[in-house]
Amino acid sequence: MEHTAPVNPWVALAYLIAGICFILALRGLSSPESSRRGNRFGMIGMGIAIITTLVTHVPLGGLSGAHGPAIALHGDFVDLVTAGEILVAIAIGATIGLTIARRIQMTAMPQLVAAFHSLVGLAAVLVAGAAFLNPGAFGIAEAGVIFVQSRIEMGLGVAIGAITFSGSIIAFAKLNGNMSGKPILLPGRHILNLGVLAAILALVAYFTQDQAPWIFWTITVLAFAIGFLLIIPIGGADMPVVVSMLNSYSGWAAAAMGFTLHNTAMIITGALVGSSGAILSYIMCRAMNRSFISVIAGGFGAEDAGGGGGGEKIDRPWKRGSAEDAAFLMKQAEQVIIVPGYGMAVAQAQHVLREMADKLKEEGVTVKYAIHPVAGRMPGHMNVLLAEANVPYDEVFELEDINSEFAQTDVAFVIGANDVTNPAAKTDKSSPIYGMPILDVANAKTVLFCKRSMGGVGYAGVDNEVFYQDNTMMLLSDAKKMVEEIVKALD
């Protein structure tokens, strides 16, 4: 199609190199050693993309003519004021971003990531809006008439961006505790959601026929609404999937804008991020044995769903242990496997947990950590917290790598995890978590279960058989306090 402005091959090449840098950034994450270099590749790629755009669109110096048209793709001359404005905008963003990045607590990473996704979504909406108002600047219109192909890309881009924005805001509010993690179920929500989605698609189709502003802005508003509607019925336990899914959406939004602007860096990045989020969502769903559709449909962990599986509320005998008992048992053990969960994150117990592990290692005990893929509120959440507490990453194992070891382990120390250890997932077909792969802590000689009280059950609202086993000892206390006491008792 001849409608694009003649692209300077060097410029196209620069964007391609930026895209390759982003691929290398993700590639680096295949191991912790190479990951830091990967992150630097990412920064270099972003630097190339930004500088290329600035050089081609904002001729610095503003001397008309001198090196004008050769550099300026669209021939629009912009004075120093514009360049200044842009640099100030970048500086403001950089200051906010760096401050947040430095201050944020590692336990709050899920909220932060959700908040960042919302910014990508909003930025996509704004860019699409700007492109709609001034299509000439983006080279997607002739005499004010936007090309049909660009209208589709723009309509889809603004819709995905808006969904990402409002969905991430809700996810943020739920993760940050501004909103209850309990699902909010509107009557007839499936019909409503499908109706809104159909309306958005119909409007995008109509947008190709008529470039009227009301269509564009109605698409935007409806997309904001659907993002909100899609996330409110999803419960706290499904947040890892939601965060991954929104990650994916932010990528598709960038890709859609890349199509509009014919920019390779944006398309490559969008595809990478989109597939990354999709794969993470898939991994999370598999780890919970849920289908993606059932997560999206929401309602999991709602109060009425809770009573269902295996939860006859009779008082059954269980054993309570003290910190001294726990210390004694672990000291005598040959191998201890620690199973951390969201409760550890909430109690900020990771540092003192590491201390406990150090003490045990001094006693000659082998200490390992077992991580379930959905432990915590986002993929890899527990690994980051343990890394923060200086736990060497080669002591931390994924479910499939360590599960067979529980049978040869003296003590399984479960701290702040529940559903991911529940044998009902294997035995009880009526249980809402049936089929979910679990950590077989019950096979260990002794299970120490650190939990705040007997009353609270996990997010799935299911009682855990492990509590009542003969070889289980319940350590009822705040996770951090309990581990501190164990550390004292180990001395």
Partner 1 sequence: MDFIAILSIFVLACFVGYYVVWSVTPALHTPLMAVTNAISSVIIVGALIAAAAAGEAVSKWLGLLAVVLASVNIFGGFAVTARMLAMYKKKERPVAAKK
Question: Which residues have a catalytic role annotated?
Answer: 419
Minimum distance between the CB of residue 468 and partner 1, rounded to whole angstroms? Answer: 32
For partner 1 (CB under 8 A), the number of binding residues is: 122
Q: What's the Rg (C-alpha) of the chain?
A: 26
Among 134, 180, 291, 404, binds partner 1 (CB under 8 A): 134
Helix%, strand%, coil% for the chain, nearest 5: 65, 5, 30
Nearer to partner 1, 335 or 472 (CB): 335
- The DSSP symbol for 31 reads S
User: Which residues, numbered 372-411, are part of the site for partner 1 (CB under 8 A)?
Assistant: 373, 378-381, 383-384, 387-388, 390, 392-396, 398
Minimum distance between the CB of residue 27 and partner 1, rounded to whole angstroms? Answer: 5
Nearer to partner 1, 39 or 180 (CB): 39
Span of 224-232, 279-287, 324-332, 350-358 interacting with partner 1 by CB under 8 A: 279-287
Nearer to partner 1, 174 or 451 (CB): 174
CA separation for the pair 158, 144 (Å, rounded): 19
Question: Could you tell me where the DSSP H helices lie in 134-177?
Answer: 135-138, 148-176
Nearer to partner 1, 309 or 373 (CB): 373
Note the residue count of the chain: 491
**How many CA atoms lie within 13 Å of 88's alpha carbon, on the beta-carbon side?**
6
Sign of CA dihedral 325, 331, 333, 335: positive
Span of 131-139, 191-199, 302-310, 480-488 interacting with partner 1 by CB under 8 A: 131-139
Q: Answer yes or no whether residue 283 interacts with partner 1 by CB under 8 A.
A: yes
Among 36, 191, 317, 491, binds partner 1 (CB under 8 A): 36
Exposure letters 128-141 (e unless 16+ CB within 10 A, then b): bbebbeebeebbbb
Q: Answer yes or no whether residue 366 interacts with partner 1 by CB under 8 A.
A: yes
User: Which residues, numbered 45-104, are part of the site for partner 1 (CB under 8 A)?
Assistant: 45-46, 49-50, 53-54, 57-58, 74, 76-78, 82, 85-86, 89-94, 96-98, 100-102, 104
Among 126, 148, 194, 212, binds partner 1 (CB under 8 A): 126
Minimum distance between the CB of residue 451 and partner 1, rounded to whole angstroms? Answer: 25
Looking at the DSSP bridge assignments, the partners of residue 412 are: 337, 447
**How many CA atoms lie within 13 Å of 466's alpha carbon, on the beta-carbon side?**
34
Q: Answer yes or no whether residue 255 interacts with partner 1 by CB under 8 A.
A: yes
Interhelix angle 213-231/109-133, rounded to 10 degrees, is 170
Q: Answer yes or no whether residue 277 interacts with partner 1 by CB under 8 A.
A: yes
Pairing of strands 141-142, 145-146: antiparallel
